[in-house]
Amino acid sequence: MPFDVDALEKFIRVKVANEEFSGVVLVAHHDTIILEQAYGLANKRYAVPNQLDTRFNLASLNKMFTGVAVTQLVQRGKLALDDCVGKHLPDYPNHDVRENVTIHHLLTHTSGLGTYWESEAFHQLSKTNFFSIWDYLDLVGDVSLAFRPGTSWKYSDTGFLLLGAIIETITETSYYDYVRKNIYSPAGMDATDSFRIDKPVPNVAIGYTKFNGKDQPPLVDWRSNNYIHPMKGLPDGGGYSNVRDMFRFTQALKDDTLLDETHRNYITTPQVQVEGEWHYGYGFRHNVRNWAHSFGHRGGFPGATNICMIYPELKYITIILSNCDARVGGLAYAWEVIEKTQHLIQEEV
């Protein structure tokens, strides 16, 4: 069954009219873009529309970049997947993390570490002067592991912070400079970076949220997410990109631009099963179905909702970047679009 672009656009416009979606959608087939369209407003106060080159907060899509960066260092012989944290961060305060958590554990969320921004210490501190990975690691260095590494699965932003610190230690440069030089530049991703939110950067969508705190009813009116967003994106998320740059990233994953074939397979192969058809790899989410395997990531943060998924057997790529709150349909909407459209064309490989 051919992909029905008109039906998809009609579906999206209904969501936009109901204030359930704002962002950019890209669908490609056999590397040819068949839909690329912007919807809604990048700035509600001044009624600035989203454009195809608008940059959106990526939320956890940045984990893919970190996964590629670490795998590049494996390819270059700078570290091994079974290296313990202590080999590269010998002064890390927690002995259990130093001696028992490996690079593999960090990449697959099987380390037993949690998420730094859920800690009480994180919420009690002003983050206006937090601009580096190390600023955040200071908050979690004494946090105990939730389970013995490798025995269970728990999504861990803290684990990806540690990966960023390891990248900096090995390369003797900042994480940001490393990914610019080794991922963004070779892939042609000129619009992608981790920007400080207190700096005037052009073509950046403001994230709008109705999130009112955990277990609280949503707000009636939209508000900017700047008041809860970190001052700068990190290895676990929060950078910025536009939909065409993310498409370039998917293309660069297919050849030797970023990784050779052997190490590219590390990225495209599921590593641990999370639940049912859902698996996780090295910075990539995988869905393994009898009709199609897909890999990529999704990202959710108040005022930011994203999907970047590659269907290698079906030859489709779907990218959705949004400045819409997941709690009012963003993430559910994005996933619904993918699943409702991709399974319809499963016979059209």
pLDDT in tens, 51-87: 999 999 999 999 999 999 999 999 999 999 999 999 9
The CATH number of the domain where 137 resides is what?
A: 3.40.710.10
Task: Write the DSSP string, 278-300.
Answer: EEE-SS-EEEE-SS-EEEEEEEE
> How far is 87 from 129, CA to CA, in rounded Å?
29
Among 92-106, 314-328, 330-344, top mean pLDDT goes to: 92-106
Look at residue 132 in the predicted model and tell me its pLDDT: 86
Look at residue 293 in the predicted model and tell me its pLDDT: 87
In 3-state terms, what secondary structure has residue 202?
coil
Contacts of 245 (CB under 8 A, 6+ apart): 184, 187, 188, 189, 190, 191, 192
Look at residue 2 in the predicted model and tell me its pLDDT: 58
The mean pLDDT of 168-178, rounded to a whole number, is 98
Mean pLDDT of the residues in the chain: 89
> How far is 131 from 297, CA to CA, in rounded Å?
24
Look at residue 215 in the predicted model and tell me its pLDDT: 76
The mean pLDDT of 185-201, rounded to a whole number, is 94
The mean pLDDT of 1-28, rounded to a whole number, is 83
> How far is 282 from 128, CA to CA, in rounded Å?
31
CA 257 vs CA 67, 179, 195, 207, 225: distances in Å = 15, 13, 25, 32, 35
In 3-state terms, what secondary structure has residue 309?
strand
Min mean pLDDT across 4-8, 48-52, 322-326 is at 4-8
- Give the model's confidence band at 3: pLDDT under 50 very low, under 70 low, under 90 confident, else very high: low
Within its chain, how far is the Cα of 326 from the centroid? 14
Whether the predicted pLDDT of 343 surpasses 70: no
pLDDT > 90: percent of the chain? 64
Look at residue 348 in the predicted model and tell me its pLDDT: 46
Look at residue 10 in the predicted model and tell me its pLDDT: 82
H helix count then E strand count, the chain:
13, 14
295 — phi, psi (to 5°)? -145, 155
- Give the model's confidence band at 123: pLDDT under 50 very low, under 70 low, under 90 confident, else very high: low
- Give the model's confidence band at 120: pLDDT under 50 very low, under 70 low, under 90 confident, else very high: low
Whether the predicted pLDDT of 349 surpasses 50: no
The mean pLDDT of 19-34, rounded to a whole number, is 92
Q: Which residue has the tokens 């940059």?
A: 55
The mean pLDDT of 131-144, rounded to a whole number, is 83
The mean pLDDT of 170-177, rounded to a whole number, is 97
Look at residue 347 in the predicted model and tell me its pLDDT: 47
Whether the predicted pLDDT of 193 surpasses 70: yes
Scored b (16 or more CB within 10 A) or e, 308-340 reads: bbbbeebebbbbbbbbbbbbbbbbebbeebbee
Look at residue 330 in the predicted model and tell me its pLDDT: 53
> How far is 22 from 325, CA to CA, in rounded Å?
9
Look at residue 226 in the predicted model and tell me its pLDDT: 85
Whether the predicted pLDDT of 230 surpasses 70: yes
- Joined together, the tokens standing for residue 288 give 């393994």
Answer yes or no: are the C-beta atoms of 165 and 124 closer than 8 Å: no
Whether the predicted pLDDT of 122 surpasses 70: no
Q: Which residue has the tokens 């508000």?
A: 223
Min mean pLDDT across 56-60, 157-161, 196-200, 306-310 is at 196-200
Look at residue 244 in the predicted model and tell me its pLDDT: 98
Min mean pLDDT across 105-114, 241-250, 336-345 is at 336-345
Tell me the residue range of the domain where 216 lies. 5-345
**Domain count along the chain:** 1
pTM: 0.93
